[in-house]
Chains A and B, each alone.
Chain A
């Protein structure tokens, strides 16, 4: 049993005054601090850039809305990370995707898992991504919260490029591209996976992304053209899949 304390964003203890810190126990009861972002009424249609997830995970971010390239049939898909929509390979096509994610109290499916790129724990990876078909077309809007509409044509990433994203945990943040070809080891619960050719991003003022922001679409700060898909991070550096690789894998284009 624990006392749950809901906060907009978790911050390092060093950035909080003593009166802002949640004590580990209150009257002997342990506390559990949970980041919720800004709590808003559950309404659909919903923009992208907000909480979602497979029932087997905590929560991630609905990156953007895509459609199969050339399709005019009205089918729309949520694009996010494999470990958000497909529970790090432990999922099957047709599984429900909740909005918001389970950690945020979500129980209502908004989409069904369609396809995911399996994470390979024995060889190099390029992307951690998946798509899920929206159950009721029109329930997910193509714009990203705060950012607005995304330009469909990807932007070639460049060092020093200013970017931004809106994610479930840190909401709207800005950052700078610092690495165009990162090869990194990512520590999943199931093991360590090697990723190659990743985009490195550092936050402009505080963290660019934290736990719960996986799946966020990174866009150019000025043009809102897509650059990358957030999937991992360490102290001060966030890593994202080049969006060209992600879109090519699923043969989709951003709506």
Chain B
């Protein structure tokens, strides 16, 4: 899969899947989209494939700055 296809898919996913409460972010991994979600309940709302691109869902909780 071309990187430009992944970039296009990520932009579309941000528009579409970004509306799901608890979705914390999007990224590009190894020939796949990465969708960062708050918890497993949100993970169940994210499809395993988006516009033909495999989706890797990652539970992160809330992403915070890493000061002590």
Contacts and interface: CB of A to CB of B under 8 A. Distances in A.
A159 to B, nearest CB: 5
A47 interface: no
Contact of A179 (B14, B28, B63): B28
Interface residues of B, number: 23
A145 B64 CA distance: 25
B65 A186 contact: yes
Contacts of A185: 24-25, 63
A7 to B, nearest CB: 13
A166 interface: no
A46 interface: no
A187 B63 contact: yes
A133 interface: no
B65 A101 contact: no
Given A182-B34, A237-B58, A237-B60, A214 B27 contact: no
Interface string A169-209: 10000000011111111111000000000101000000001
Interface of B: 7, 10, 14, 24-30, 34, 36, 58-68
Interface of A: 35, 51, 53, 57-60, 81, 83-84, 88, 101, 103-104, 128, 159-160, 168-169, 178-188, 198, 200, 209-214, 230-239
